[in-house]
A and B are shown apart, each in its own frame.
Chain A
Amino acid sequence: MSAENPYAEAVGAADPGGAALSVRDLTVTFPGDDGQVRAVRGVSYDLNPGEVLGIVGESGSGKSVASMAVMGLLPKTARITGSVRFRGRELLGLSEKEMTSVRGNKIAMIFQDPMTSLNPVYKVGWQLSEAVLAHHSVSKEAARKRALELLEIVGIPSPDKRIDQYPHEFSGGMRQRVVIAIAMANDPDVIIADEPTTALDVTVQAQVLEALRAAQRETGAAMVLITHDLGVVAGQADRVLVMYAGKPVEIGPIDGIYYQPRMPYTVGLLGSLPRLDQRTQDKLTPIPGTPPSVVNLPPGCPFAPRCPLRTDICLRVEPALLPVLGAEHQAACHHSDQLAHESAMEIFSTDPNADPGQGPRDQNHEQGPDQNRQSGAAQ
């Protein structure tokens, strides 16, 4: 994370020429028994050099699938359209061999499970040195020295001992830090981290996030950080993209998204979080209902069935992502003006879904099982 004003950094967003990674109208469709699963329905963003873009969303929002598509890691059954440009070069449609060279070279990936990236039969030091040697013509001794340095940077205690151990001798958090060290050895322009700390305990998460920051500082790489944790994003990202039902519903500088959200889903998401730093006895404000199935999505705004502000137009026309507060902060909502002065509590406590006959608990009532049967099929 940079300490500069995130607004200042986001200015470059409008200029795709300068972007490290430029994604346009990306869609991903999987064939399914009940119809097409439209997991990603049009994602566009620019990742500027050196910035951290957080992509947040709940399970099934398409945040991971979109990033897998960017990296070319989806199975052949997936139909991908749109454009992914890395420093001006189109990545979609590259052969597997060409893609491999891009992936290893300039785009590094960090997944939730570090063992998917580490080879269990080689020592950690060997795997790190290999990455160093692949990109620099140095001697083996120099590569090993660099490997030691990298382990030191990501905070592995006594790296001179650890370098000759195998991945299974490391704990989960330490393995993730080794993966980050390898990513740094590749000297990437872009790091894509998909839920890098999700399975970890909080004190370990803090260590790994610190290592990620160190990696970004050392390499100057831009980073896409995909997570469901709005707290992690708050501390790491310069800009945030909020996904819902396969589409970005709001994107903007981090302070704008957190302090002036203009899409009811973002407002609801922030309002439903219990806060560690507040002495409040107030009730949380849950979002009624459940996320829609991305199979046979009805027309209109996908959030409309759960939205207290919905009107007729919401059920007919899916809103486009339009500027709300300056060009950088965009939201997909017909009623984003209304959100300027209302809190989550004010918006969501009048719930149009409530059944008048059901009593006071209906406010946090989830919808009937029928709808969920569909979303179950989509997962």
Chain B
Amino acid sequence: MSTLTPTPSRALDTAPLLSVRHLVKEFPIRSAGLLRKQIGVVHAVSDISFDIAAGETLGLVGESGCGKSTTSRAVLHLQPATSGQVFFNGVELTTVGKTGLRRLRRDMQLVFQDPFASLDPRITVNEIIAEPLRIHGLYGDKAAGRRQVADLMATVGLKPEHGNRYPHEFSGGQRQRIGIARALALKPKLLVLDEPVSALDVSIQAGVINLLEELQDEFGLAYLFVAHDLSVVRHIADRVAVMYLGKIVEIGSRDALFEHPQHPYTQALISAIPIPDPRRERSRERILLRGDVPSPANPPSGCRFRTRCPKFLTLTFEQQQKCINEEPLLVGRGPGGMPTSEEAAHRAACHYAESLRVL
């Protein structure tokens, strides 16, 4: 656009809903003695940046210990980041203070993995769902509040007449729906979903995934969908970010990332997922990784994946030096010259990134 004064609405449309910039989260390692002297640092999340647009789903995937859950908590400022910024609707979370943060939290809600541990067993479902409304003074009089709660239960596919029951009377899938109803109560713009279906059996999981998709269409919600199950992420996400040892190693649109993964770790990860199709499974080649994930207290120099990287083994000694000494940046790696916009959207942190079909 050539105009120098964009209208505010136009600016709102283009700005991402959530912007994470250079987010770092470190946890101190302390000695066992009386002084509990700090003797090291766990680099749980090391300088990651990403955006989520309104109504969009970003899948954040990786294996245990890669920092994906820490990222989700830092995004909500439940655990303040060590450094870096989180902008929600253009407002930086660290600058708004306690009251401002509470107001912002209306718009960003969290759904937990374990539907058994995240619901208070001593209060009824009605009260669980009403709680956020009461905290933010939106419950209104008794009739209005009850109506809101009943509507929320119907929205997530529960029968409102079951609102007087306690969480233990519901199955895992129903409890997860209660957790979603609670998160929806304040009409948020962003839901952070931390492994929301991992604890559920597959036949129940499908219903919750469908519900999340319907809610997104209906309310225009944005999701930060944290999961280790790539099949679920392939189904639900618009874009996907892959984390390894505290860093995003690859980010891109869903189909580009799954069909043309560029980072050797993403390729290994996708090739390792079993597909429920015997003929395809028989003909598939797996990329087996050697060894285990290094400790995040002492990550490898340069590229953090190099100690397990199948590509690293094929490189010459000179090429390997680059992996050892120079940290690869997360950039679009199109063939030569300036990356096109699509290549810029699909970025991989590997010096020798090369697209490979593994499915």
Residue numbers of A with Cβ under 8 A of B are 1, 3, 58-59, 155, 157, 171, 173-174, 201-207, 209-210, 228-235, 254-255, 258-259, 268-279, 283-288, 290-291, 358-359, 361-362, 364-366, 368-369, 372-373, 375-376
Q: A203-B268, A203-B289, A206-B288 are in contact. Are A274 and B278 (CB under 8 A)?
A: no
Task: With CB as the reference atom, state the residue of chain B lying closest to A361.
Answer: B157
Q: Nearest Cβ in chain A — how far from B121, in angstroms? A: 13
A239 to B235 Cα, complex, angstroms: 28
Q: Which residues of A contact B79 (CB under 8 A)?
A: none
Q: Which residues of A contact B359 (CB under 8 A)?
A: 276-277
Q: Nearest Cβ in chain B — how far from A108, in angstroms? A: 23
A202 to B170 Cα, complex, angstroms: 30
Number of chain B residues whose Cβ lies closer than 8 Å to a Cβ of chain A: 60
Q: Which residues of A contact B273 (CB under 8 A)?
A: 202, 231, 276
Q: Which residues of A contact B277 (CB under 8 A)?
A: 234, 258, 275, 277
Q: Which residues of A contact B234 (CB under 8 A)?
A: 274-276, 278
Residue numbers of B with Cβ under 8 A of A are 63-64, 154-155, 157, 159, 162, 165, 168-171, 173-174, 177, 201-207, 209-211, 213-214, 228, 230-232, 234-236, 255, 258-259, 268-282, 284, 286, 288-292, 359
A sample of 15 cross-chain residue pairs with beta-carbon separation below 8 angstroms, ordered by A number, consists of: A155-B288, A203-B63, A210-B286, A231-B275, A231-B276, A232-B274, A234-B275, A234-B281, A271-B206, A276-B234, A364-B211, A366-B157, A366-B174, A368-B159, A369-B169
Q: Which residues of B contact A206 (CB under 8 A)?
A: 271-272, 286, 288-289
Partner of A235, one of B63, B169, B236, B282: B282
Q: Which residues of B contact A359 (CB under 8 A)?
A: 154
* Contact of B272 with A205 in the complex, beta carbons under 8 Å: yes
Partner of A286, one of B206, B258, B282: B206
* Contact of A276 with B231 in the complex, beta carbons under 8 Å: yes
* Contact of A366 with B255 in the complex, beta carbons under 8 Å: no
Task: With CB as the reference atom, state the residue of chain B lying closest to A282.
Answer: B235
Q: Which residues of A contact B213 (CB under 8 A)?
A: 283
* Contact of A234 with B278 in the complex, beta carbons under 8 Å: yes
A284 to B235 Cα, complex, angstroms: 9
Q: Which residues of A contact B268 (CB under 8 A)?
A: 203
Q: Which residues of A contact B202 (CB under 8 A)?
A: 58, 228, 230, 269, 272-273
Q: Which residues of A contact B271 (CB under 8 A)?
A: 206
Q: Which residues of A contact B289 (CB under 8 A)?
A: 203, 206-207
* Contact of A202 with B269 in the complex, beta carbons under 8 Å: yes
* Contact of A285 with B206 in the complex, beta carbons under 8 Å: yes
Q: Which residues of B contact A59 (CB under 8 A)?
A: 201
The A/B interface has a contact count, at CB < 8 Å, of 176
* Contact of A366 with B171 in the complex, beta carbons under 8 Å: yes
Q: Nearest Cβ in chain B — how far from A189, in angstroms? A: 25
Q: Which residues of A contact B280 (CB under 8 A)?
A: 234, 277
* Contact of B282 with A3 in the complex, beta carbons under 8 Å: yes
Q: What secondary structure prevails in chain B residues at the interface with A?
A: helix
A375 to B170 Cα, complex, angstroms: 10
* Contact of A365 with B231 in the complex, beta carbons under 8 Å: no
A334 to B275 Cα, complex, angstroms: 30
A53 to B177 Cα, complex, angstroms: 36
A210 to B288 Cα, complex, angstroms: 9
Q: Which residues of B contact A358 (CB under 8 A)?
A: 154, 159
A291 to B203 Cα, complex, angstroms: 10
Partner of A274, one of B165, B209, B259, B281: B209
Q: Which residues of A contact B206 (CB under 8 A)?
A: 271-274, 284-287, 364
Partner of B201, one of A202, A228, A232, A259: A228
Q: Which residues of A contact B204 (CB under 8 A)?
A: 286-287, 290, 366
Q: Nearest Cβ in chain A — how far from B129, in angstroms? A: 15
Q: Nearest Cβ in chain A — how far from B159, in angstroms? A: 6
Partner of A273, one of B276, B282, B292: B276
Q: A202-B230, A359-B154, A372-B169 are in contact. Are A272 and B205 (CB under 8 A)?
A: yes
Add 9 more A-B contacts to A210-B288, A273-B202, A376-B169 (CB < 8 A): A157-B290, A157-B291, A202-B228, A273-B231, A275-B276, A275-B277, A358-B154, A364-B157, A376-B171
Q: Which residues of B contact A205 (CB under 8 A)?
A: 272, 274
* Contact of A270 with B276 in the complex, beta carbons under 8 Å: yes
* Contact of B228 with A234 in the complex, beta carbons under 8 Å: no
* Contact of B288 with A207 in the complex, beta carbons under 8 Å: yes
* Contact of B201 with A255 in the complex, beta carbons under 8 Å: no
A233 to B170 Cα, complex, angstroms: 30
A174 to B231 Cα, complex, angstroms: 25
Q: Which residues of B contact A274 (CB under 8 A)?
A: 206, 209, 231-232, 234-236
Partner of A275, one of B168, B210, B231: B231
With most chain A CB atoms within 10 A of its CB, the pick from B228, B258, B282 is: B282
* Contact of A230 with B162 in the complex, beta carbons under 8 Å: no
A372 to B165 Cα, complex, angstroms: 12
Q: Which residues of B contact A210 (CB under 8 A)?
A: 286, 288
* Contact of A375 with B203 in the complex, beta carbons under 8 Å: no
Q: A202-B230, A210-B286, A369-B174 are in contact. Are A269 and B272 (CB under 8 A)?
A: no
Task: With CB as the reference atom, state the residue of chain B lying closest to A284.
Answer: B206
Q: Which residues of A contact B211 (CB under 8 A)?
A: 361, 364
Q: Which residues of A contact B170 (CB under 8 A)?
A: 369, 372
Q: Which residues of A contact B205 (CB under 8 A)?
A: 272, 286
Task: With CB as the reference atom, state the residue of chain A lying closest to B201.
Answer: A58
Q: Which residues of B contact A286 (CB under 8 A)?
A: 203-207, 210
Q: A276-B275, A277-B359, A372-B171 are in contact. Are A235 and B203 (CB under 8 A)?
A: no
* Contact of A376 with B275 in the complex, beta carbons under 8 Å: no
* Contact of A366 with B201 in the complex, beta carbons under 8 Å: no
Partner of A290, one of B173, B210, B258: B173
Q: Nearest Cβ in chain A — how far from B252, in angstroms? A: 15
Q: Which residues of B contact A207 (CB under 8 A)?
A: 288-289
Q: Which residues of B contact A229 (CB under 8 A)?
A: 274
A270 to B231 Cα, complex, angstroms: 13
A202 to B206 Cα, complex, angstroms: 20
* Contact of B168 with A376 in the complex, beta carbons under 8 Å: yes
Q: Which residues of A contact B269 (CB under 8 A)?
A: 202-203
Task: With CB as the reference atom, state the residue of chain B lying closest to A258.
Answer: B278
Q: Which residues of B contact A287 (CB under 8 A)?
A: 203-204, 206
A209 to B272 Cα, complex, angstroms: 10
Q: Nearest Cβ in chain A — how far from B171, in angstroms? A: 4
Per CB-CB distance, the 8 closest pairs between chain A and chain B, nearest first, are A231-B274, A272-B206, A286-B207, A274-B235, A286-B206, A235-B281, A364-B207, A201-B63
